[in-house]
Structure 1
Amino acid sequence: MTRAIHDAGPRPASQPGPGQSDADLLRAVAGRDRAAFVALFERFAGRVKAYAMRAGVGAADADEIAQDVMVSVWRHAADFDPARAAVSTWIFAIARNRRIDHHRRGARPAPDPEDPLFQPDPAPDGLAALTAAEREAHLRQALEALPPEQRRVLVASFWRGLSHGEIAAEEALPLGTVKSRIRLAFRHLHALLGEDLAEGLHDD
């Protein structure tokens, strides 16, 4: 296991013996003892791989899981608390999490190229492709084509934000006349612009 121990400190003078306990080895690994890590790796890597394969993981992926678990052991040995669990329990808890992560990655379906999310937006039709300036120009032309009395009440209602009652007072007209002129102006705009360009207007 070379990738996990390249950056470790100097190898201690004494080599770990086969009779050392898991806890002794892990304590030495926490002190960045490479020889202790090699001994711990030889003790657990094969068992972790076998555990992953029994859980349905292929040999190549199980080997990768074992490698990742032992890298994690090297990096986090100092975090081990012997009062909470045995070394083997701690290592196999890491292995279980790695196996679950592997399963989740494998369970994700491959993106479907036919999914609408991956399809380009349809080309806009002529009206949708109009810029805001073009739409404004069309609207101004249509307003100019309205009879003046209809144009005044429509502008007062939709652009100046006046209520029908305020327009009636300003124009000295009956309220019903104001409403009637707005409805007529609105119908004329629909006829001149079409539904798409006139859809922002509505008769209150």
Structure 2
Amino acid sequence: MIYGIANALDISLDYLFGVGEDGAVPARRQGEQLAGEADALPRFAMTAALGAAAAGPGAADAGTADVGRPGARPSGAASGADPADGPSVLPDEPVVQRRSRRRTIDLASGVRWERLTPQQDARVDFLEVVYQPFGRSTDTHASIRHDGREYQLVLHGTLHADIGFETYVLEAGDSLAFDSATPHQYRNMTDQEVRVISVVIHHTA
């Protein structure tokens, strides 16, 4: 509910709780789990999870599943690499996101989100998404909807994208763009890992 309020006001939880005037997120020990940490979750996932509380009436229908429901919540902690693995991003230099220090979330459905921005950005979710063999965007096998416009670029492997009533098979180098209010889900139907660059641009007031 708190995230829903912050989302409705278009402010971050960091701002709401006054965590760091510069917007920096405190560092975490490797493997540490912070229950309910919304900053690590892409905004579209939390919006879907909270339904009308976060996105307003009519944002989702009864035929769609919430990606943030108990079965689809992260099965592992959001994590970062040990500082010894590579250079870190200083709070006063929020420009470069080192690969070794990406914020990551593992979903129970066999998907990993890796945030590509040094800090949370309320306007856009910029992610590298890894689909394990036979992994899918939701473990309920149902489509989701959320605000914004969505772009996907397949880097490696073959991804099945269900957009509305159509299914598209995307190979490496293929991309797509659509309104995220359209029910959709992604599936890896192979025994090989699939890697995708995902961008969701949210509607702003």
Per the TM superposition, whether the score is higher than 0.5 is no
Structure 1 length normalisation: TM-score? 0.25
Structure with the higher strand share, 1 or 2: 2
Bigger relative contact order, structure 1 or 2 (CA pairs below 8 A, ≥6 apart): 2
Structure 2 length normalisation: TM-score? 0.24
Structure with the higher helix share, 1 or 2: 1
